[in-house]
Amino acid sequence: MAIDTVLWSKLVTGMTLGFHVIFATLGVGVPLMIAIAEFIGIRKKDPHYILMAKRWSRGFVISVAVGVVTGTAISLQLALVWPNFMKLAGNVIALPLFMEVFAFFFEAIFLGIYLYTWERFKNPYIHWLLTIPIVVGAGMSAVFITTVNGFMNQPGGFLMEAGQFTAVNPVQAMLNTATFSKVFHVLSSAYLTGAALLAGIAAFTMLRKGVSPYHKKALNLMMAVVLLFGMLNTFAGDVSAKFLAEHQPEKLAAAEWHFETESGADLILMGWLNAEHEIIGALHLPKLLSFLAFGDFNAEVTGLEEFPLDERPPLLVHYLFDLMAGIGFALLAISLLYFLFVFWKKRNELNKWLLRIIALSAPLAFLGVEMGWFYAEIGRQPWIIRGYMRVEEAATSSPHVRILFFLFLLLYIVLGTVCVLVLRRLFNNNPAELEMEKWMKEKPSQSTEKGEAS
């Protein structure tokens, strides 16, 4: 029974976070894209980009709504499902949680203002300025909440006395050794995913309805962002791997099925394990793991056998890790290919196959984010606060948690379905070209007005 409620608690939280992370990633990534599009639109006096910002923010607000309510759910579930965890860790992580709410508050206020003041200011840059607190608020809330996750991986900033955290230093707990690499990776992947989604939508629309100047501009702009953040994200992933090798070797070892400590360790791609834990059918890249972990092909990498059996993460994380990393590289490659075609005049960058691949990169990006988080979280098992509290000590003992799993599952199915339906209706019945025409008719002097004001 005790094991049972723990498993259900894990499932409830995993499901909520897995659902929330889709919208949280959108919430962090998309505002930056809106800000970039509006800025270029004002700068170039090109109403296409302004329309982009308008349409994106209209879709964005729907996804924000789901992000807000699932975020509220996860923040309450922390205490409802993991009461012992909050009792212990609340002393140390309250500060970043509190700051996260402030950042979110800040973003919420300015998002409301932004959405309802499109026509209010004479100078278009004033309206654009409103995107800055939104981008900053969204980014900062990701930063603060990631420090909490960093703390759970690399606890610090306290002394342990008789089962209680004492001599707490909240700032030191926030700036734990895991924080930097995690924040870097979370932010870069969120911006990458936001751009990949919007590029994917533009490509998808052009596949279905043919090339239009609006979608061509959107695709070009977003692919540039994908390229930039694809590179940053690859770098961030490398920083994270080096962090793991140094501070959480069991997580890296589990991801790479690296059982024995050795120097010049191989990097293993895919494959599977037989009953004797031998690796079959995998691609071995010689000495690459050592290079990945320490930047030296002959460095010694700690193996999983150094850790007691009951402190090893599940070996399944290997696949999560490979998928995440593979998708990261694929996104970077797609954007490189796109710009290769753009600059190599003989090729048409808008050919069907390339558009199809770009359209596919949007769901891939989200899959990559999910895989990355599942890897990070499952790779931390069996700890909830690594080295201090195990997951089964933290969970609620209430048997009702099983029923709640199904209630929440139902809720997320309903929310997800209706969200998709509403978004489809919002955009399918109102294509960009049509809206552009209507808009230009209503405001014939739009572009000249903007020019004078700046």
Does position 99 interact with another protein (CB under 8 A)? The reply is: yes
Least distance to another protein, CB of residue 169, Å: 6
Is residue 107 within 8 Å of residue 71, measured between CB atoms? no
Q: Quick one: 113 or 232, whose CB is closer to another protein?
A: 113
Q: Cα separation of 14 and 409, whole Å?
A: 11
Nearest-angstrom CA–CA distance, 157 and 148: 12
Interface with another protein in residues 10-29 (CB under 8 A): none
2 touching another protein, by CB under 8 A: no
| Contact in structure between 259 and 223 (CB atoms under 8 Å) | no
- 170 forms part of the interface with another protein (CB under 8 A): yes
> In 115-184, at which residue ranges do the beta strands (DSSP E only) sit?
159-161, 164-166
Q: Which residues pair with 269 in a beta bridge?
A: 283
> Least distance from C-beta 80 to another protein, angstroms?
5
Count, residues near another protein per rule CB under 8 A: 77
Type of residue found at 147: T
Q: Helical H runs in 275-351?
A: 288-294, 317-343
Q: Is the dihedral of CA 416, 421, 426, 427 positive or negative?
A: positive
Which CB, 270 or 414, lies closer to another protein?
Answer: 414
Nearest distance in Å: CB 21, another protein: 16
Q: How many residues does the chain have?
A: 454
Q: Which of 105, 235, 272, 406 binds another protein (CB under 8 A)?
A: 105
102 binds another protein (CB under 8 A): yes
Please check whether residue 55 is in contact with residue 173, taking contact to mean a CB–CB distance below 8 angstroms.
no
For residue 106, state whether it binds another protein (rule: CB under 8 A). Answer: yes
* Chosen residue from 7, 113, 269, 330 binding another protein by CB under 8 A: 113
CB-wise, 89 or 225, nearer to another protein? 89
Q: What is the smallest separation between the CB atom of 200 and another protein, expressed in angstroms?
A: 21
Cβ-based burial of 14 (10 A; exposed 0-12, middle 13-18, buried ≥19): middle
Among positions 382-441, residues that touch another protein (CB under 8 A) are 396-398, 400-401, 404, 407-408, 411, 414-415, 418-419, 421-423, 425-426
Which residues between 114 and 143 bind another protein (CB under 8 A)?
115-117, 119-120, 133
Residue 176 in contact with another protein, rule: CB under 8 A: no
Nearest of 57, 431, 394 to residue 208 by alpha carbon: 431
Min dist. Cβ of residue 163 to another protein (A): 12
Q: What is the DSSP string of 71-132?
A: HHHHHHHHHHH-HHHHHHHHHHHHHHHHHHHHHHHHHHHHHHHHHT-TTT-SSHHHHHHTHH
CB of 123 to another protein, least distance (A): 16
Instruction: Work out how close the CB of 6 gets to another protein at its nearest, in angstroms, rounded to a whole number.
Output: 14
Kindly identify the residues of this chain, within the stretch 38-97, that bind another protein according to CB under 8 A.
Answer: 58, 61-62, 64-66, 68-73, 75-84, 86-92, 94-95, 97
